Each structure stands twice: as structure tokens, then as C-alpha cells.
Amino acid sequence: MRAETKDTTLTYTKIVERYALFFDRPEVRLRFLNKTLARQNEREKQLHRSLRRLAFIENTGLYKWLLQLGLYRLIFEEVQGFLPSIPEERRALLRQINAPVSARIFFQLYKVRYLFYGAGIGVAAVGLFGLYLLVSWSARGVNTWIAQHYRTPNQQSAGSPGTVLANPARYLPDYKPEKVWLVEKKENYERYSNSARILTDYEVDNHPRQYYIASRGAEVPGKAVYHEPVGIIYHTSENEMVEFKPGNNDSIQAKTRGLLGYVREKRAYNYLIDRFGQIYRIVRDNQAAHHAGHSVWADQKNLYIGLNESFIGVCFESSMQQATTPDEQLTEAQLISGRALTAVLRSRYNIDEANCVTHGLVSVNPETMQIAPHYDLVRNFPFEAVGVSDKYKVPPVSVSEFGFGWDDKLLEKIGGPLWPGVAAAEEEFKRRAAALGLDARELRRQKRDSYLKQYDLGRRLREGGQAQAE
């Protein structure tokens, strides 16, 4: 054994012996002395093995200081184990021993080491989470750059040049009328190139379409009579629904058959799409169905009043009142079929997508001068899914030109605020009144008379009377 090691052991022994005086029984002193020195010897060996590649540290004062701190820690641990059973007068001996300040501080820190461990683990966890967020953010940035760098024209959304669809799974083909045509016509169905299959078992006649068109801002329509549809109105049937699940197949189909019979009898819509996506033609395209009633809509050039005659009614078997989420409002099969049917009708009649709208957005009540007395699909209709632009953002002509309004009862009925375009339309109507030097209420009265006059002209045309104003 090296002389240095012998000297160190002797020094350790003297330190431990001072604390051994704390114990009054000789056998306890001896056990304390041997156990403490043995633990210190084992600790020194472990430290020596840990520093085998840095042996030069053992020749420094730091190494000796660390060993000494460790010895005092072992002494304090052993002594504390005996404290509860030692009389107070013997404990006074312990207070007379002046351990180094650094050793006392080291021991106090050692006792709370688990708190430091926990704090260290917490800091490490926060650091790792931050690193994860940084890596995720960086990955998204790289993916976005790649998508923008290699985007194709079909990946850009209409109206937002350069915008890249975030999720390729949402990709839907662009509308191309030349890609849609009749493939097969049988006794009870028609099949089209875009997968649309229209069942004709419930097809029925009604009166032929005939209507006038007014230019935007005109008080009376033109003299020409039109017969082909210029738009599509989407509806919900609002009949009683059963839960959409496999065990209810029979009940679901029974409800559909009952609805088909009712719609056929009332000539209520031109088309019905059931919950499984089956498309039924009810009233033929060249004939008007009773689906829109008092209603008004406009595109960039023309104004249409009484949309039964000018718009095709497409009804989804659904209920806004029973649906608690947008996903429950329409099934996936209905959306697929709704998109296919929209493409067929637009291709056949050259319908502008600006005239593809929901019933809730065109319905008006001239007696109360309020919008949305029929509020089916007044919100949450997935316009993009059927291949047309969002009409909730369009200022409705019923408000901007005719001054139709709303009250709290309507907001309560539809369960929330009105669609975004209404506020802009209301501001536009107020500006028009101010420009004419009229009170908004007076202009509303005048526009109500204009609406009723144009609606009555259309009614008289349908009834075969004198239709055109002098």
C-alpha cells in the first residue's frame, strides 16, 4: 500500500473516531467506526475506477477534498440513524465537533438531492418537448416550401392564386363540363360519365318552366320569356330521421320510400338524394317544382325572383333540426352524389356556379320583410364539396337591393348569427338609401313594392294571363 494511502486512511480514522465518542457503548463505537471506514474505502475504489482514464486528477487537491466531503456525508448518515435512541446529554457532544462548513452544506444538499433530480428531469422534458416542436415546425416549413416549389395548377384554389392545399387527401377534380355526358339511358335510370346514376322510377310531370329575368337594379323585368333553368337550389327534407348505422338499413330505406311518395305527390323538388347517395329525379328538368316559393337571388348581371321557375330544386334527405354537427347533416354518399349531380346539371344547362345556392339564403317573406323564413342549409353547407364557391360570403340581394331584414326570433330559430354576407349587404343597402336621400325604412317600403310587382308578373305568366307590365 502506498504511503500516501496509509496517511489518508489514518486521517479518515481520526475524523471518524471523533464522532465515535458520540456513542457510550464500546461495541456501538466499534461498529460505527468499522462500517464508516469500510464504506469510505469502497467509495474511494469506485471513484478510482471512474477516473481510470483521468488518473492525474487523483494527485490534485480537488480529489482529496471530494473524498473528504464524501466521508463527512457517510458520518452524518450513520450518526442520524442513531439520534432517536440517544439521550440529550450525549447529543451535546456532537455539537462540540466542528465539521467543515463545506461538508455541512454538501450534506444538506445531499439530503434534498431527489428534488434536484426531479427538477433536472423536468428541465430535460421541457427541453425535449421544445426540441420536438422546433423539429416539427421546421419539417412543416420544409414541406410547405417543397409543396409550393413543385405545385401544379390543379393544386391552387380558385380565388387564391398560389395557395396550396394543405392536405392532398382533400383533393377534388376541377369541374370540366366536357368530361360529363350521358353514357346510358334505360327505362328506370340514366348513367353519366362522372358516376352519376339518376333513378327515374318516381319521375312525374308538372307545369313547364317560364319566367322573366330582370337586370340588376331594374324595377321591372324584360319582356323575354325563358324556359331553361339557370341555377340550382339545395334543400334539406326535414323529415324524421333514424340513426344512420348498419342495423337501421330497413328503417332508413322505409323512411326514404315514404319521403319519395310525399315529394312526388307535392311535386316538391326536381331531385332527391337519399342518405345512401341514390339520386332520384322527381319533377323533370324542363318543368318547375314547388321548392322555393317567395325567393330572390342574383348573379353579376341578372336578378331572379320566384326561383321555382328558374332554378332546379335538389333536396338532400336530411334534417338540420336533428343534426347536432355538420357531419351529421349530410352523409359522405350524399356529398359525392351531390357533386356528381351538380356537375351533370351545370354541364347540361350551362349553369353558372354563382347560381348554385341553398334555400336558406334565397328564401324571403314579403309580408314581414324578413329573410330566411325557410332556413334549410342556412349554415354549414359544404359548397366546396359539391364543386362550387362559398355563397355564405356573398351579400344576398334580398338585403342589399330589396332591404329585407331580420329580428331576434330568426337568430333564435337558426341557432346563432346570420351568415357573413348579410352584414355587408345591410351596409350596402344603407349606402344606397343615403345616396338617394331616403330614410332606409322608406326605401325598404319602395323595394317591397318592387319585389311584389315582379313576383306577381311571374305568377301571371305561369297562369297564362297578361304578364308583362305596360
HEC states along 120-156? Answer: HHHHHHHHHHHHHHHHHHHHHHHHHHHHHHCCCHHHE
Note whether 137 and 58 are same-domain residues: no
Q: Is 136 contained in some domain?
A: yes
Q: Which of 19-33, 166-180, 292-306, 390-404 comes out lowest in average pLDDT?
A: 19-33
How many CB atoms lie under 10 A from the CB of residue 48?
Answer: 12
Q: What is the pLDDT of residue 263?
A: 98
* Band (306; pLDDT cuts 50, 70, 90): very high
pLDDT of residue 119 exceeding 80: no
**Whole-angstrom Cα distance, residue 422 to residue 414?**
14
* Band (399; pLDDT cuts 50, 70, 90): very high
Closest CA relative to residue 73, chosen from 36, 22, 44: 36
CB 423 within 8 A of CB 430: no
Closest CA relative to residue 406, chosen from 441, 371, 373, 440: 371
Q: Is 468 contained in some domain?
A: no
Note whether 297 and 345 are same-domain residues: yes
What lies within 8 Å, CB to CB, of 62 at 6+ separation is: none
- Residue range 411-426: average pLDDT? 92
Closest CA relative to residue 279, chosen from 290, 294, 267, 269: 269
pLDDT of residue 403 exceeding 90: yes
**Whole-angstrom Cα distance, residue 258 to residue 261?**
5
Q: Is 98 contained in some domain?
A: yes
- pLDDT tens string 164-217: 334 444 567 789 999 999 999 999 999 999 999 999 999 999 999 999 999 998
* Band (328; pLDDT cuts 50, 70, 90): confident
Final residue belonging to a domain, choices 129, 164, 199: 164
- Rg (alpha carbons) of the chain, rounded to whole number: 43
Note whether 187 and 263 are same-domain residues: yes
Note whether 95 and 160 are same-domain residues: no
Q: Which of 99-113, 183-197, 242-256 comes out lowest in average pLDDT?
A: 99-113
**Whole-angstrom Cα distance, residue 173 to residue 180?**
12
Note whether 310 and 195 are same-domain residues: yes
**Whole-angstrom Cα distance, residue 225 to residue 265?**
28
More confident residue, 28 or 214: 214
Final residue belonging to a domain, choices 67, 85, 111: 111
Final residue belonging to a domain, choices 81, 96, 111: 111
Note whether 95 and 233 are same-domain residues: no
* Band (436; pLDDT cuts 50, 70, 90): very high
Share of the chain above pLDDT 70, in %: 67
More confident residue, 361 or 328: 361
Note whether 125 and 186 are same-domain residues: no
More confident residue, 304 or 217: 304
287 - beta bridge partners?
208
Note whether 254 and 153 are same-domain residues: no
- Residue range 18-25: average pLDDT? 64
**Whole-angstrom Cα distance, residue 35 to residue 32?**
5
Closest CA relative to residue 415, chosen from 323, 353, 338: 323
Residue 444, domain CATH: 3.40.80.10
Query: Torsion angle of alpha carbons 455, 457, 461, 466, nearest 10°?
Result: 160
Q: Which of 16-25, 37-46, 290-299 comes out lowest in average pLDDT?
A: 16-25
Axis-axis angle for helices 3-20, 26-50 (nearest 10): 140
Note whether 103 and 153 are same-domain residues: no
Q: Is 354 contained in some domain?
A: yes
Q: What is the pLDDT of residue 30?
A: 73
191 - beta bridge partners?
184, 197
Q: Is 469 contained in some domain?
A: no
**Chain-wide mean pLDDT for the chain?**
82
Q: Is 174 contained in some domain?
A: no
Note whether 222 and 160 are same-domain residues: no
Cα-Cα end-to-end distance for the chain = 129
Closest CA relative to residue 182, chosen from 317, 281, 283, 268: 281
One-letter amino acid for residue 192 of the chain: Y
Task: Calculate the alpha carbon distances from 193 to 211, 278, 374 in Å.
Answer: 31, 16, 34
Q: What is the pLDDT of residue 172?
A: 73
Q: Is 169 contained in some domain?
A: no
Q: What is the pLDDT of residue 87?
A: 61
pLDDT of residue 378 exceeding 50: yes
- H or E segment and range at residue 319: none
Number of domains in the chain: 3
* Band (3; pLDDT cuts 50, 70, 90): very low
More confident residue, 21 or 214: 214
pLDDT of residue 223 exceeding 60: yes
What is the dihedral sign for C-alpha 411, 413, 419, 425? negative
pLDDT of residue 142 exceeding 50: no
Note whether 322 and 430 are same-domain residues: yes
pLDDT of residue 59 exceeding 50: yes
Closest CA relative to residue 47, chosen from 21, 66, 27, 23: 66
Q: Which of 164-168, 418-422, 436-440 comes out lowest in average pLDDT?
A: 164-168
**Farthest CA pair distance, the chain:** 131
Eight-state DSSP code of residue 179: G
Cα–Cα–Cα angle for 38, 39, 43, nearest 5°?
Answer: 120
**Whole-angstrom Cα distance, residue 377 to residue 130?**
44
- Residue range 260-281: average pLDDT? 98
* Band (2; pLDDT cuts 50, 70, 90): very low
**Whole-angstrom Cα distance, residue 108 to residue 113?**
9
Share of the chain above pLDDT 90, in %: 57
Domain encompassing residue 60: 3-111
Q: What share of the chain is helix, strand, coil (3-state, %, to 5)?
A: 55, 10, 35
253: helix, coil or strand? helix
One-letter amino acid for residue 433 of the chain: A
190 - beta bridge partners?
185, 198
- pLDDT tens string 381-395: 999 999 999 999 999
Q: What is the pLDDT of residue 121?
A: 75
Task: Calculate the alpha carbon distances from 120 to 128, 131, 416 in Å.
Answer: 12, 16, 50
**Whole-angstrom Cα distance, residue 117 to residue 110?**
11
Helices (H) and strands (E) in the chain, counts: 14, 13
211: helix, coil or strand? strand
Note whether 187 and 200 are same-domain residues: yes
pLDDT of residue 124 exceeding 90: no
